[in-house]
Structures are given as structure tokens and as C-alpha cells.
A and B are shown apart, each in its own frame.
Chain A
Amino acid sequence: MLTYVLRRLLATIPVMLIVAVLVFLMLRLTPSDPAAIIAGDNANTEQVAEIRRRLGLDQPILTQFVIWLGKTLQGDFGESFFFKKQVTELISDRLEPTLSLSLLTIVIAIAIAIPLGVLAAYRHGGWLDRTVMGFSVLGFSVPVFVIAYVLIYIFAIELNWLPVQGYQRLAQGVGGWLQRLLLPSITLAVIFVALIARITRTSVLEVMNEDYIRTARAKGQTEPKVLIRHALANAAVPIVTVIGFGVGLLIGGVVVTESVYTIPGLGRLTVDAVLARDYPTIQAVILLFSLAYVLINLVVDLTYTFLDPRIRY
């Protein structure tokens, strides 16, 4: 098992390298010129050229890439073209909000979706089943920002239960932190609940017809125990797969959600950086997100071994 983990970790390296190359190329191929944007309105061609030189943008692409790669491996992501701060500082500032949002979203989604899916499977064919399936398809058919606006209108404006926007750091109080994150997390969780509830229902249904379920019932196990210990546990593998796949969706949703709710996280940083052609920041953030995605996939694969003893690496 340990060798498997090590092998997978090693395999991350070429993948991340390819991500780095792809992102780097993508940015350098762009026709717009960050030097011109930085130089400002009244600059002449010499000033722009001077800035290009200072930023190292006049070097051949391969040289730029090697220099950047070297620095990145040492943890130096360079200085943002626009924010006049070290990219590492920018990112570490924004890590907490995005992590908080993502984790809370996943927790809420799982807490709602799995019981819902299990119940839907249990009462297969009933009104709960149909409602769950119906709403879940709706859940991932509506764009995130529309869900956000509707939720804000209902809960923040009309009912005044929750704040409209903003983020409070954990250090300034858990109560405020939770209060501000609730609506954004629910917004993002909608898609997840939809996905996870569906797959839970489908997997549990599949498993419900198995012999060992009948045996468990015959033995006299209570229904909850049958559902959770026997059905859910065996249905877990596809569910966890979808959760892992959902993380990719999560990142996309985070970008939009942070924009609407004014959460100063990595998602918004990326949007601002892309619109401002801030290469160092864009490169660093995409690299970070990709690394997170790869590692989460690894964790998902490892979780399989706990869930299903038959799966061994």
C-alpha cells in the first residue's frame, strides 16, 4: 500500500509539470501585453520596453519558463504584476476563505445528500424518491449565480436571516464566520446535493437487492443498521468517486460564488488576475488548484481501500 501511495505521489510530478507547461504557454501566447497595461496611459514605447525587460518578458519563452520553474520549486512565485505584493503573500491571504467555503460546502452537501439519497432508495418509487430525483436534476441545471441571487433575495433580503455578502476571518469569531459563510456554502452545495443524492440513491438501490441485505434483515437487524452498515457501506465506492469528481466542479463554482458574495478568496483572485493579465498570479493559482485536484483524487482512491476491503493496491 505504501508503495502505491509513493508511486502515485511520484506520478503527480510529471502531471504538474505538464500543467505548468500548459498554463505557461497559454499565457505567453496571449496577444495582450501586460507591460503596456502596467506602463499606463501616457507611457511611450521605450518605457513599455523597459518594463518588459524588468519583468523578464523579453526573454525567449523557454528561458522564461526555466527561470519561473526554478523559482517556483523554491516556493518563490514571484511578484504580482499588479498588486505590488508577493504572490505567495496574496495567496496565503486568500487561502482561508476559499478553504472555509469549500469545506463547509462539502460538509453541508454530504450531510444533506447522503441521508436524502439513502431515504430515496429506501422508499424507492415513492413521492420522496421522485422529488429527490426531480429536484436534483434541477439542481445542476441552473447556473450558480442564479441560485445565488435567488437565495440572497429570499434569505438575506426578504427574511433578513443572513448577511448579504462578506467574509469574516475565523480569528475574529466563529459565530460571525459561520453566519457569513452559510448562504454561500448552501448556494454552492446545491449542485453537490443534486449529484451526490442521485448517485447515493442509485448505488444504494443497486445494493439493496443483494443477498447480504436479505440476510441482514433475516438476522433481525434494525432497518437503520441495515441501511447504513450494510447498504451504504457497500455502495460507498461510486459515491466517493462522484465526490472526488465534484471537487473539480467545486472549484468552478467557487469562482462564481466568491464573486457574488464578495469573499476574498482564491477564486476571485484568479478572476481578477486573468482580467488584469497578471501572469505570475494566474500561474501560481492554477498550479495550486491543479495540485489540490490531483491530491484529492489520490485521497479518494485511498479511501476506496477503507471502504471496500476487496480493493487493494
Chain B
Amino acid sequence: MGHLRRCLFALAAAAALGGLSAAANAQNTLRAVMHSDLKILDPIWTTAYIVRNHGYMIYDTLFATDEKGEVKPQMVGKYDVSADQLTHTFTLREGLVWHDGQPVTAEDCVASIKRWAAKDSTGQKLMSFVDNLAVKDDKTFSMTLKAPTGLVLLGLGKPSSNVPFMMPKRVADTDPNTQISDFTGSGPFVFKRDEWKPGDKTVYVKFDKYKPRSEPASGFAGGKVVSVDRVEWRAIADHQQAINALLAGEIDFIEAPPHDLLPLAIGDSNVKLYDWNVLGNQFTFRPNWTAKPFDNAKIRQALLYAFNQKDFLEAVVGDAKYYKVCPSYFPCGTELFTEKGLEGKLTSDFNKAQALLQEAGYDGTPIVLMHSTDVQILTNLAPVAKSLMEKAGFKVDMQSMDWQTLVARRAKKDPPTAGGWHAFLTSWVSIDITNPIFTGFMNAACDKAMFGWPCDAEMEKLRDDFARETDPGKRKAIAEQVQVRAAEVVTHVPLGQWYQPAVMRKNVNGMLKAPAPVFWNITLN
């Protein structure tokens, strides 16, 4: 009998202790559900957005883009440009340290720039202008150019994938095609590797020695002041459950809830919506130029007439509050937005599309359209595309697969009937496609281009002109020409702009409006 009592007592004590420790854990922790689970930790090796978001947590950048889209110094304290615009000198500001306590040096920065530029297409373009990248002293380095270019600031302040994050030299010296294994950064959070459980949760804690700039925070720029002690990224794959958990107070923030579930949040007084990415995203259709019949520009043009943006936006987003028909390659609300080149197109003019197909001699080859089934925001796109293409006279063979399979398959140049592909649909964050250099799909360097492999010398020349131009007014004119050309040769098709508000508990305040979700400046009161 005594034994039993002891057991019960022990059990009760354990339960009580359990309660206590739970209370102690409820310090300033922000529990967030991001749009994807974090499996890769190298933001240079991959362009995946979740890894970029991870990068913004633990790394810092030389320059940063603010809310208005202007590039401002971040790690850089003093920035000088020579009169002939060929020598740029950067001096780091005081007090920057790595998570292990070592000071950040110019050597680290130069190595980081080199690694970034090896993988990133904007970086590659920038480096083609660079004559020499040299360390001047502990805190200073200089970049000497062969010709003036606006890409220095555009590149070093690039807001989205790949972001030129600064890493210690020993890490940045890793071969760009191998993932890094040391996650030391100089950003406002520290990655807790020992608590990282892939598929379950990722943990960051505040970096006490981070020295924010004195200016107020704006976008990615300004002072990155962290007001929470700990941020946990939880992997909740079931969207319904994520919202349930938010409403029940078990988590604080959901980055990308499906639009259909937003009414649940709107109806609850403890929860609010917040659109942190005011520029939104763009759906895109990418044809494969190397796969007949998409090697024929007329047939590609038929796509521009077959599609209309509203159908796609309605099918995925559904609520007009969260989308915008924007017939432009460069998103609405950005500097280079224009409608030139797309007039009369994207209106589902099936007659015109059919006429074009006939002119081009379309022989009825089925278009192999890849359909991804497990990325919530993309799932409904391919069926809409198939329906519209069929009405325009195309024969479509839509093949369903999970995203990983699609990624593997789109890298192949085999004929579509033998494991290749004709087309697929995806989504870009607007900040990634604000100009012809950032827009990966506009790269028309044939074999060196992204999957889809457009091949157009005129487009490449225009992009090069854009890179060389430093005057903003002239840049806009070139961008217009780029769009006109893109609509002629059809590198890809813009299918509409859409917005993804986050949902969070009422006590989560201060989230910055930026193209990526950032967790500094957020308070939990």
C-alpha cells in the first residue's frame, strides 16, 4: 500500500513539475509556422525562399533594400565612389561581430561576395564588370570596375534569392556547389543547431551582441532591433490544423495561410491579418524552348492569347481582395511596371490563338504540362492552364507529380515523351522580378539560361544594356524594350499578381513590411 502511495505521489509531483516547467518556458517566444519546412541551410547554394528567410535571421548584408525600394547601407559604414564611377570603396561600420565573438573583417566580406557571385545570376553579371576585388585593411575593401554599372548597389543590396549574405571567410571559402556546414553569421539571431529538428522545428535565439544601426527599421534596412528572446519555426504541414492551432493560441504566426481559410481568422477577435509583402507575388507559366513545338515563337505566342490572368487568380486565390490582374512582366507597384508589349494579350482570345496555331502549322503534338500536387499555392494552376490551352486548340497531356519530382524533371532536356517536359507553372515573389537582371526567366542565354532555356540574342543584348546603364530614366526605357521583346519571343507568361497576408495573434506587433518575413522589430505584448 505504501508503495502505491509513493508511486502516486511521484506521478503527481511529476505532473506538477511539468506544469511549472511549461510556465517557465512561456518567456518571450514567437512560435511561427512558415510556408515550408527548413531542410537546407545554405542560402547561397539554393534559391528556395525558406532558406532565404533563414538567411535573414542569422546573417547580415552589406547593403539592404528599404520599404521604398531604395538600397541603403547596412553593414557598410562608409561608401565612396570615384569620380569615374570605376572604383567603389566600402568600409564596415563599428561593432560588427560574428556569433562566435570574432569581429567581422573585410576579408570575410570579399570571400562572401565571391561565393555569392559564383551562384547568383545577378552576381555573375556584376562580376563580369569587376576588374578587381581587394581588401584594403581590416574593415575596408574596394571594387574596381572595367566599366560603370548600376549593378554594384543593385547586386550587393539584392533583397531576394540569392541574397548576398555575409559569412566568415572560413565558411565562405566553401565550394559554391557544396552546402556549408558551419552556420555562424553576424545577424540579429543565432541558429540553435542543437535544437534543430528537421521536419519538426527550427529554433533561433536573440543575438545579444548584435549592434543595430541607429536609423529606424524600414524593409530590410535600418536598425534590426530584436524584442523577442526566441523564435521557433514549427513544421505544421496540415493548413487546417495550423489555423486551428493559431486560433487556439498554440502558435502565434502563420506566414502563408491558404486564402480559403482566411475567413476563419477574420472571424476571430484574437487574431489579425497582416500583409507584410505589399508587392505580392506573380504566377508564371514557363514553356520549354527546346521541346517541339515550343521551339516555334508563333506557337508560344498563341499561349499569350490563350491565357487570361483572372481565371488563374480566381482558381487559386479566389478573393479579389488578395489578387490583382497585372498584365506586365514587371509587377504592379514596382518601378519598372509597364503595359507595353502586352496590349491586347492575356485576354483569352481563343480565335486569335487558334489562328496563330494554324499559321505556325501546329500538328497536334500533345503538350506535356507538369502539374505539381503538393505545393498548395500551385496545385490549381495547371488544370486552369490545361483548360484554357485546350480551348485555344492545343492538345494537352497534364501529368501530375509531387514538387520534388517536378524539380528533378524540369532539369532534363530530354524530349517530353521520354522524361522531359513542355511546360510548368510556378510563382515568383515580386521582389525577385523587379528588373530584367533579377528576373531569372528573362535570361535568354540558351544553354546557360534557367530551365526552359530561351535563346534570344536580342534579349541578351537588351539585358546587357540595362546592366551597363546607371541613369534610372534610361534604365526604364530599356526595361520597356525588354518587356516588348519578352512578349514577342515569350520567355515566360506572367499570369497575375497575388498577395499573401500572414495571420497572427493580436499580441504580435511591429512586423515590418518587407518582401521576406523578418522577425526583428516584432514585439509580443
Residues of A within 8 A of B (CB): 31-33, 36-37, 40-43, 47, 82-85, 90, 93, 149, 152, 156-157, 160, 163-166, 168, 172-177, 259-262, 264, 268-269, 272, 275-277
B18 lies within 8 A of A262 (CB): no
Known A-B contacts A173-B18, A173-B22, A176-B18; A165 and B244 likewise in contact (beta carbons under 8 Å): yes
What residues of chain B lie closer than 8 Å to A172, measured between beta carbons?
A: 18, 21-22, 25
B17 within 8 A of A: yes
Q: Cβ of B199 and Cβ of A264 under 8 Å apart?
A: yes
Supply 22 A–B pairs (Cβ within 8 Å), ascending by A: A31-B419, A36-B408, A40-B45, A41-B47, A47-B177, A82-B198, A83-B39, A84-B179, A84-B181, A93-B197, A93-B200, A152-B244, A156-B248, A157-B244, A163-B245, A165-B241, A172-B22, A173-B15, A262-B234, A268-B199, A269-B199, A277-B404
The complex places the Cα of A264 from the Cα of B200 at a distance, in Å, of 6
Taking a contact as CB atoms under 8 Å apart, the answer to whether A41 and B248 are in contact is no
Given contacts A36-B411, A41-B46, A175-B15, 4 further A-B contacts (CB under 8 A): A160-B248, A177-B18, A268-B199, A272-B199
A275: nearest residue on chain B (CB-CB)?
B402
Q: Which B residues touch A164, using CB under 8 A?
A: 241, 244-245, 248, 250
Docked CA distance A187–B11 (Å): 25
Q: Bound state CA distance, A176 and B21, in angstroms?
A: 10
B405 within 8 A of A: yes
B198–A37 CB distance below 8 A: no
* Contact bitstring B42-80, A, C-beta under 8 A = 1, else 0: 000111000000000000000000000000000000000
When C-beta atoms are compared, the residue in chain B nearest to A179 turns out to be B18
Complex contact A176–B199 (CB within 8 A): no
CB distance from A88 to the nearest CB of B (A): 14
A157 and B21 contact, CB distance less than 8 A: no
The answer for the CA separation of A269 and B200 in the assembled complex, in Å, is: 9
> What distance in Å separates the Cβ of B438 from its nearest Cβ neighbour in chain A?
15
On whether the beta carbons of A264 and B197 are closer than 8 Å, the reply is yes
Measured in the bound complex, the distance between the Cα atoms of B20 and A173 in whole Å is 9
B250 pairs with A165, CB closer than 8 A:
yes
Contacts of B11 in A (CB 8 A): 174
User: How far, in whole Å, are A33 and B248 apart by their CA atoms in the complex?
Assistant: 41
Q: A32-B408, A85-B198, A176-B18 are in contact. Are A166 and B250 (CB under 8 A)?
A: yes
B107-119 Cβ-contact flags toward A at 8 Å (1 or 0): 0000000000001
Question: What is the CB-to-nearest-CB distance from B17 to chain A, in angstroms, rounded to a whole number?
Answer: 6
Neighbouring B residues of A269 by C-beta, 8 Å:
199
The 7 closest A-B pairs by CB, nearest first: A173-B18, A264-B200, A175-B15, A36-B408, A164-B244, A83-B198, A175-B18
Q: Which of A40, A83, A90 has the most CB of B within 10 A?
A: A40
* A173 contacts B250, C-beta separation under 8 Å: no
Kindly state whether residue B2 has any CB partner on chain A within 8 Å.
no
Q: How far is the CA of A31 from the CA of B401 in the complex (A)?
A: 13
Q: Are A82 and B248 in contact (CB under 8 A)?
A: no
Q: Is the CB of B39 within 8 A of A82?
A: yes
Given contacts A42-B119, A262-B234, A264-B197, contact A165 B14 (CB under 8 A): no
Output the residue of A82, A262, A275 with the most chain B CB within 10 A.
A262
Complex Cα spacing A275 to B405, Å: 9
Q: How far is the CB of B36 from chain A (nearest CB, A)?
A: 12
Query: Within 8 Å CB of A173, what residues of B?
Result: 14-15, 17-19, 21-22
For B245, list chain A residues within 8 Å (CB). 163-166, 262
Q: Does B7 contact A (CB under 8 A)?
A: no
Known: A40-B45, A156-B248. A149 touches B402 (CB 8 A): no
Closest chain-A Cβ to B362's Cβ sits at a distance in Å of 30
Q: Which of B201, B240, B404, B408 has the most CB of A within 10 A?
A: B408
CB-based nearest B residue for A264: B200
User: In the bound complex, do residue B241 and residue A157 qualify as a contact, i.e. CB atoms below 8 Å apart?
Assistant: no
Are A43 and B18 in contact, CB atoms less than 8 angstroms apart?
no
Given the complex, which residues of B lie within 8 Å of A93, measured CB to CB?
A: 197, 200
Please measure, in the bound complex, the distance between the C-alpha atom of A268 and the C-alpha atom of B405, giving whole angstroms. Answer: 19
A180 to chain B, nearest CB (A): 10
Query: Of the candidates B15, B235, B248, which one forms a contact with A157 in the assembled complex, judged by CB atoms under 8 Å apart?
Result: B248
